[in-house]
Amino acid sequence: MAAPKTNLPVDPARIQDVIDGLARLTEPGRPYTRRAFTALFPAGRDFLLEKFQAAGLETRVDAAGNLVARRAGKKPGLGTIMLGSHSDTVPDGGRYDGIAGVAVALEVARSLADQGIELDHDLEVVDFLAEEVSIFGVSCIGSRGMAGVLPEEWFSRESNGLTLEQGIRDAGGDPARIAVEARKDIAAFLELHIEQGPVLETEKRDIGVVTAIAGITRIEIIVQGRADHAGTTPMGNRADALAAAARLVTGIEALAKSLSDGPSHFTATVGEFSIEPNAANVVPSRVRLLIDARAEDRAAMDLFAASLDLMAEQLGRETGTVIEAPRRISDNPPTPGDPMLLDVLDAACEVAGATHRRMASGAGHDTAWMARVTRSAMIFVPCLGGRSHAPEEFAETDDIALGAAVLFNAVIQLDKI
């Protein structure tokens, strides 16, 4: 995107060096896979620890298993400005999702030191534990923990004989102290992340200033039909669960398209879909589908859910199937970015010479959890084709460095407030 800037307050090569170093620490033959709670994860942590220490930062692992590196400010008690993201990946993931944000946070700290800039505030760089949906089926373990909202009933979740509680302990955390150590001293939290969507690339902008992280609601629908012999049951005599579910999928797509027409971010996706008995000569008796709906605007989500209820009810009647009332299996509200921070980030883009726009995040991020305990906001940098969670995931060094410069400028600005 951006023509390489020559007057940046950060060093692009050092950022890329961290990204490349972590990219080498992948499951053999499976680029780029470094899952939280696997044997490989600590290798990434060791790599980061060494970099953090080489930068003169004071490191520790907090109760929730986050790796935290600190540079003390001149005025203890003003609170901490925190920057960071996560170093874990999805299976067969990419080199930038989360990782770019950690590398950039470190680079801001290093650049401040290089330029002899001493902040009034303490500055912390964080690598959150297990942002991606982990082997325990839940995401954002570390940021939920730091915010004091990690549900204790999740501790006993188990995967392959490992509990989440033990997993946190293995990462160096102390589950029993998560609640008491919930952070109340943070003045502001900022995260840089790749966009994971096509908007910046398409519009040729350098930076997205994130107005809100969309709320994510997962809705399960079961369509119950009747298994009949596919050859002998006349077409007019069926309760075909797949035929009914197909109309539901089409309706959900149309509804989502109309809700996404406005300026506010909305998506709905049927990502999981399975049929029973799934046999060539049997009319499908049952379909389970799972909708992932995301809205910047809570009212849009409520409208979607209400329309879905109506649609399901009507389709059940029309198709002779039984469509149970759609069930919200998880429901997180949208998280607006802190208005003051958004203004600071806009100004920081101008100072860095970065073209920018405000936009919502359709993806979930650690920032949404940090917003529970402090002013929080994030910026996006462009990524190739909007692709993420895949080995092809790619972002230009210069685009990431420009984002680092924006954060650098924002930190300088925030320190004065």
Does 7 participate in binding ligand URP (rule CB under 6 A)?
A: no
Write the DSSP string, 93-109: --SSTTHHHHHHHHHHH
Q: 3-state class of 77 per DSSP?
A: coil
Please say which residue, 9 or 98, places its beta carbon nearer to a second copy: 98
Does 207 participate in binding ligand URP (rule CB under 6 A)?
A: no
Closest separation between CB of residue 137 and ligand URP, Å? 12
Does 139 participate in binding ligand URP (rule CB under 6 A)?
A: yes
Contact partner at residue 242 from ligand URP, a second copy, none, CB < 5 to 8 Å by partner kind: a second copy
Does 195 participate in binding a second copy (rule CB under 8 A)?
A: yes
Closest separation between CB of residue 386 and a second copy, Å? 6
Q: What pairing do the DSSP bridges indicate for beta strands 162-163 and 158-159?
A: antiparallel
Closest separation between CB of residue 300 and ligand URP, Å? 17
Does 238 participate in binding ligand URP (rule CB under 6 A)?
A: no
Closest separation between CB of residue 334 and a second copy, Å? 12
Token couple for 285: 């008796």
Distance CA 398, CA 404 (A): 10
Distance CA 413, CA 340 (A): 11
Closest C-alpha among 250, 286, 243 to residue 268:
250
Is the omega angle on the peptide bond into residue 277 within 30 degrees of 0, that is, cis?
Answer: yes
Please say which residue, 78 or 390, places its beta carbon nearer to ligand URP: 390
Q: Which residues are 210's β-sheet partners?
A: 359
Does 370 participate in binding ligand URP (rule CB under 6 A)?
A: no
Distance CA 375, CA 165 (A): 29
Please say which residue, 77 or 231, places its beta carbon nearer to a second copy: 231
Closest separation between CB of residue 386 and ligand URP, Å? 12
Distance CA 184, CA 164 (A): 24
Does 363 participate in binding ligand URP (rule CB under 6 A)?
A: yes
Terminal-to-terminal C-alpha distance of the chain: 32
Other beta carbons within 10 angstroms of residue 227's beta carbon come to 17
Does 281 participate in binding ligand URP (rule CB under 6 A)?
A: yes
Which parts of 224-263 interact with a second copy (CB under 8 A)? 227-237, 240, 242-243, 245-250, 253, 256-257, 260
Closest separation between CB of residue 315 and ligand URP, Å? 27
Write the DSSP string, 241-300: HHHHHHHHHHHHHHHHHHHTSSSS-EEEEEEEEEEES--TTB---EEEEEEEEEESSHHH
Phi and psi dihedrals of 56, rounded to 5?
80, 15
From 116, 151, 231, 263, residue interacting with ligand URP (rule: CB under 6 A): 231
Residues 103-142: x/- map of binding to a second copy (CB under 8 A)? Answer: ------------------------------x---------
Residues 332-371: x/- map of binding to a second copy (CB under 8 A)? Answer: -----------------------------xxxx-------
Closest separation between CB of residue 237 and ligand URP, Å? 16
Does 76 participate in binding a second copy (rule CB under 8 A)?
A: no
Does 211 participate in binding ligand URP (rule CB under 6 A)?
A: no
From 365, 369, 398, 400, residue interacting with ligand URP (rule: CB under 6 A): 365
Tokens 């003045």 correspond to what residue? 187
Other beta carbons within 10 angstroms of residue 302's beta carbon come to 12
Distance CA 39, CA 231 (A): 52
Token couple for 53: 């220490």
Please say which residue, 353 or 385, places its beta carbon nearer to a second copy: 385
Closest separation between CB of residue 267 and ligand URP, Å? 10
CA distances from 305 to 43, 123, 301, 386 (A): 43, 42, 6, 27
Maximum pairwise Cα distance, the chain: 82
Other beta carbons within 10 angstroms of residue 373's beta carbon come to 18
Contact partner at residue 182 from ligand URP, a second copy, none, CB < 5 to 8 Å by partner kind: none
List residues near a second copy by CB under 8 A: 133, 195-199, 214, 216, 218, 227-237, 240, 242-243, 245-250, 253, 256-257, 260, 266-275, 278-284, 290, 292, 294, 361-364, 386-390
Query: Which residues are at the interface with ligand URP (CB under 6 A)?
Result: 132, 139, 196, 231, 281, 363-365
